[in-house]
Homo-oligomer: A and B are copies of this chain.
Amino acid sequence: MKDLTPRVTTGPLPASRRVWHAGVLHPQIRVPMREIDLHPSAGEPPVTVYDSSGPYTDPAVEIAIDGGLPRIREAWIAGRGDTESYDGRHVRPEDNGLAEGARLVPEFPVRHEPRRASGGRAVTQIAYARAGIVTPEMEFVAIRENMGRTAAKQALLRDGESFGADIPDFITPEFVRDEVARGRAIIPANINHPEAEPMAIGRNFLVKINANIGNSAVTSSMEEEVEKMVWATRWGADTVMDLSTGRNIHNIRDWILRNSPVPIGTVPLYQALEKVNGIAEDLTWEVYRDTLIEQAEQGVDYFTIHAGVRLHMIPMTVNRVTGIVSRGGSIMAKWCLHHHRESFLYEHFDEICDIARAYDVSFSLGDGLRPGSIADANDEAQFAELETLGELTQIAWAKDCQVMIEGPGHVPMHKIKANMDKQLAVCGEAPFYTLGPLTTDIAPGYDHITSGIGAAMIGWFGCAMLCYVTPKEHLGLPDRDDVKVGVITYKIAAHAADLAKGHPAAQIRDGALSRARFEFRWEDQFNLSLDPDTARSMHDETLPKEAHKVAHFCSMCGPKFCSMRISHDIRAEAQKEGMAKMAEKFRAGGDLYMPLEDTK
């Protein structure tokens, strides 16, 4: 029998502690953050950063993957009194691609009865928000987004161009409620995934990132996928999409969900297609609906639904350089074409909403016609679908469902802003969630970078969540190292976007790290960085000794040439000499060029 307790990565990041902030409206909530301690010589308090890593980085918590994480939201959900436990759908062999024997990933050892809304209610965060209720999830998000800052202090740091985003100095629970009620933010939080720590996706919050994991028909296992999820959240993934397409989809997903501190998204179409042996034209609404319920009961927090790919749009893609590159989009296009019928996802979208509202599954309306090459960017097909996604947003909102909108893809820099502007306009400011975009096609192996450029830009322009791209994009399934590189690259993009938007807390970490750099506090510089391990190991390649960690230089310039060291000398002299006064007499006014003689 297989070992049921695979190892995952645990333990704190360097110099870091997981700390907790209690709620006020809801005193029972404990909001996690990470505090990074600085060297005493800094004379600065710890730097508080957003923490998506869950209990895995808390040494006080014993991690047992076969037990799952604590179900922190269970009491909040039950306490609302609008849901019921029920027996739930039974797992069928086709849910796991008919895997059996040694090939079957074991079921997750603990079974929790699913919950659903009772009496046809909407049990979604948007429904509560519209009813004026500030849920524990909303207060959790408010505290989390503030990262311990106070309004007064941070009001000083506003500096940016927000393109219409309106991030307050201090996030209140009421602000979160209002943003969710307006559909401008979502809190993906299936009532059957109470292990997740609530988070928000919206233009007026920190820019979030998603990491994709998932096995494929060709490679990878449950153990690898659970570790990839833990690993991705350790480095900062705010949500994780399980895009598995091979066997064992159901059981692997259970292991992931029960152990995930972040919302999990899926593309239910992938599993539905497995159930019909990969024959797109054999898909039916019934198989799809059954898959939605299966996944909603497991606790999937958001579904990518490719309901915007409609029959009449397919001809628009025929002359593209790269046709349809979205898997979901191509499957639906093939189905539509084969049957000469409108998409069953489009036709049944209101029924899909009825399922989603009973579990609070958020929608990520898929961009099935996103461009797969620079040549196809911003074309008729892409924007026709985006307009349809705007229509579907209105339907979802009418059903009290939470919605975000997926976006491209491959887009050259000068066409990125048009995507954001159009999305805001036609989708009523529902959060945008983009893949990249990749700003050129010519660098397979480096598409985390081609896309990181586009991601930073669209994040600045208002995109709420950035779906990572790893170095393996277009080439193969990412492994653990690729996942980390993808996550760090996208944390860079998201943070660069927060800075440029003028997020009131964004500069705190940059300032702390730069002060550490200027003061040669090497350990602080490593510890404050997005990837302390890599920063430290790169430094140690050339200067491995402990003594070099306090050295006032590095191997890049060596001791004689260190500009920072010289700057300190200058600062010291300036204080001594009253330099400002002295320099005043040298201020040359409008002289173009001062010959040697004049300045002696």
Whether A510 pairs with B574 at a CB distance below 8 angstroms is no
- Which residues of chain A in 48-94 are interfacial with respect to chain B, using CB atoms and an 8 Å cutoff? none
Which of A101-109, A116-124, A289-297, A533-541 lies on the face that meets chain B? A533-541
Residues on B with beta carbons closer than 8 Å to the beta carbon of A131: none
- Residue contact B514 to A321, C-beta cutoff 8 Å: yes
Interface mask (A465-490 → B, CB under 8 Å = 1, otherwise 0): 00000011111110100000000110
With A560-B278, A563-B325, A566-B333: A318-B579 Cβ-Cβ less than 8 Å: yes
Cβ of A100 within 8 Å of any chain B Cβ, yes or no, is no
Chain B, Cβ-Cβ closest to A448: B449
Residues of B within 8 A of A8 (CB): none
Complex CA–CA separation, A580 to B316 (angstroms): 8
Contact B329 A563 (CB under 8 A): yes
Q: Is the CB of A330 within 8 A of B563?
A: yes
Task: Chain B residues near A337: list those with CB within 8 A.
Answer: 570, 573-574, 577, 579
Whether A513 and B161, one on each chain, are in contact in the complex, defined by CB atoms closer than 8 angstroms, is no
Do the beta carbons of B217 and A560 come within 8 Å of each other?
yes
* CB proximity of A558 to chain B, nearest CB, Å: 3
Chain B residues whose C-beta falls within 8 Å of the C-beta of A424 in the assembled complex: none
Complex contact A217–B273 (CB within 8 A): no
Chain B residue numbers with a CB within 8 Å of A373 are 510-511, 514, 517-518
A564 CB-CB contact with B under 8 Å: yes
Contact B245 A412 (CB under 8 A): no
* Bound-state Cα–Cα, A391 to B592, Å: 6
Q: Mark A328-354, 1 if CB is under 8 A from B, else 0.
A: 011101100110111000111110000
A231 at the interface (CB under 8 A from B): no
**Is A16 among interface residues, defined by CB-CB distance under 8 A?**
no
* A-B interface, 8 closest residue pairs, ranked by CB to CB distance from nearest: A323-B567, A217-B558, A373-B514, A413-B500, A330-B566, A278-B560, A330-B563, A445-B534
- 6 A-B pairs with CB atoms under 8 Å apart are A216-B558, A218-B543, A413-B497, A442-B492, A443-B488, A479-B541
